[in-house]
Chain A
């Protein structure tokens, strides 16, 4: 094969990545890169205007996604990706804002923001890569760590119940809730594309392997074993009641689209309320973007 032919071979997701930042920091077998691949393909499929797209991450392994995508991207503080994204969206409603972060970031330190953004139905697409553990800091217990797992901070086994995130965000008001694993790369892409079409708070949980910490410590093998586990134990149940999709350490993983409903988003409700109360005195918010001349 000639050089020119080799040079013509460009991975379709490459235009969406900051190639000058590769190699990335993720471990061999980590699932986060897989989710980014699916995300890039969702951008292709949905033909979304990339200029209007902003991506916000918190802190942790998944928090580093913001640094690898060739978009306006913000690596914020631990747990606060959602409120930062809320500010972006409210100040420029034309932006499509994606929050891309991990389970610890979004549901522990950021848990309060997660439920309130869902309650307000802020138009955000939240992608939660759930590796069941705090990985960046060395394998500590997360709110999502299944019962009986061993972690560096529960060396004798986790005994506190874990969060069922789809159930949590549905109860809080999310309009779109889905869960897949990194085995389901096409389904992830489809779910992301669907979420781009929704107006309101969308939440996609992606169960993702952490061979370095979670699996090694729990003698669950390597990344390939994780794929086998996801393949064998995942059960697709679209529309499953989210109260029934809680995870256990070795049991079934219920995946699918659980919630897809309509509810007016925050800005729609805000405009309606101001219009009703203020009438002609109301000035819509896009004018807030400052004159930078």
Chain B
């Protein structure tokens, strides 16, 4: 379906990534956010708090991130599309409710504008060091989707995508911004509402008698009902059967947890988005995401000027990881170079997927700034000299 024009601020704007993210949420149909202040993310909900009473919705500032990360889920079960916004320390506090959303299949979006850590770390300078936490932070086995915008325009566009994926797969989607992208001001084009595709809730059309809250169809994603619809359904974070009833048995656990994984893993090709440039015939492929992809661009162009055959692969979706693509590429190139604002997180996935077919070079950075393109260039040059494995 098309976006509700009330929430769409059509036009050409000059705005930062945080504000663009807020506009993306409104365009996607989100009318509820709960949050707790933390730099460099707060501007997203500050704008939402100003905008949402004029389009029909609510923002509530909760007492902490534990509350913020579950208040939005109550709103989702009442029928709203909802999100919360935070940065590292708050993201740590939200982990339990990312698990709850995964287990209860609550469609929602968690925005993390990353800053340097660990702990209070670097308020409020950039990092990309929450990437593994986004994937693995809550206990137990589950899958999430994580997107990495690299510009204010993408903060708008991909926030809509994040909400759409959340609804399509009934999964919490992590929107992994970083301080640079959040505070960078650029041109943002917001199209007319009729050009924005919005995925509606998978609301059941079944009768009360026929409805099974966690019964699934072919694509492994169950249909939802909302509180007040008359279905008298039960939702629990306990291991549950198709009725949504607690059932702490091995077969039910096995069936449920595998389905939570497979509904995402079976759709990896449909979910993952990458941006590629001069991959064919490349000796070295630079894999990056978020703000680092823009810094890496300069290093890639400098390397090409030196005559090196360098390709670019940008991860727009970090999770699920495009494992198959990397594996196929690893058979064709000499090496991967992976710059990121952490001491080595997504590079481990690249190395694992490459499985020894191509060498993997990390270009680590402790955060607080972005790479010097020269540092990435040096590693590209080194990587292009390495022997084919």
Contacts and interface: CB of A to CB of B under 8 A. Distances in A.
Interface of A: 18, 20-21, 51-52, 54, 56, 66-67, 70-77, 79-80, 82-92, 94-95, 112-113, 116, 270, 274, 278, 281-293
Interface string B57-95: 110101110111011111111111110000000000000
Contacts of A91: 31-32, 58, 74-76, 78-80, 82
A51 B96 CA distance: 30
A87 B70 contact: yes
Given A18-B234, A83-B71, A92-B79, A282 B53 contact: yes
Given A51-B228, A292-B226, 10 more contacts: A71-B232, A77-B237, A83-B74, A88-B227, A91-B80, A95-B227, A95-B228, A112-B66, A287-B57, A288-B31
A257 to B, nearest CB: 28
Contacts of A66: 234, 236
A286 B56 contact: yes
B301 to A, nearest CB: 44
B55 interface: yes
B31 A54 contact: no
A90 B79 contact: no
Could you say which of B74, B78, B200 has the most chain A C-beta atoms within 10 Å of its C-beta?
B74
A87 B72 CA distance: 6
A289 B226 contact: yes
Given A83-B71, A290-B29, A77 B96 contact: yes
Per CB-CB distance, the 3 closest pairs between chain A and chain B, nearest first, are A87-B74, A288-B31, A287-B56
A140 to B, nearest CB: 20
B179 to A, nearest CB: 27
B67 A285 contact: no
A54 B236 contact: no
A51 B229 CA distance: 7
Given A95-B227, A112-B64, A289 B58 contact: no
B81 A290 contact: yes
B34 interface: yes
A278 B53 contact: yes
A85 B203 CA distance: 21
A74 B71 CA distance: 13
Q: Which of A79, A91, A112 has the most CB of B within 10 A?
A: A91
Contacts of B229: 51, 72
B118 interface: no
24 contacts: A51-B228, A67-B236, A73-B234, A74-B235, A83-B70, A86-B34, A86-B62, A86-B71, A88-B77, A90-B60, A91-B75, A92-B80, A92-B226, A95-B78, A95-B228, A113-B63, A284-B56, A287-B55, A288-B56, A289-B80, A290-B80, A291-B1, A292-B226, A293-B200
A194 B139 CA distance: 41
B32 A67 contact: no
B136 interface: no
A76 B80 contact: no
Contact of A84 (B54, B74, B226, B228): B74
B58 A293 contact: no
Contacts of B228: 51-52, 54, 72, 92, 94-95
A72 B227 contact: yes
Question: Interface extent on B, as a size class?
Answer: 35 or more
Nearest to B167: A290
A74 to B, nearest CB: 5
A282 to B, nearest CB: 5
B115 interface: no
A173 B77 CA distance: 27
B256 to A, nearest CB: 15
B211 interface: no
B71 A87 contact: yes
B123 interface: no
A92 B67 contact: no
B236 A87 contact: no
A76 B79 contact: no
Given A76-B100, A87-B82, A88-B74, A282 B54 contact: yes
B32 A112 contact: no
A87 B29 contact: no
Nearest to B234: A73
A289 B31 CA distance: 8
Contacts of B226: 92, 289, 292
A155 to B, nearest CB: 29
Q: Which of A71, A83, A278 has the most CB of B within 10 A?
A: A83
Interface in B135-178: none
B96 A285 contact: no
A113 B75 contact: no
Nearest to B205: A292
B63 A112 contact: yes
B386 interface: no
Interface string B334-367: 0000000000000000000000000000000000
A285 B200 contact: no
Given A90-B58, A90-B75, A92-B78, A291 B200 contact: yes
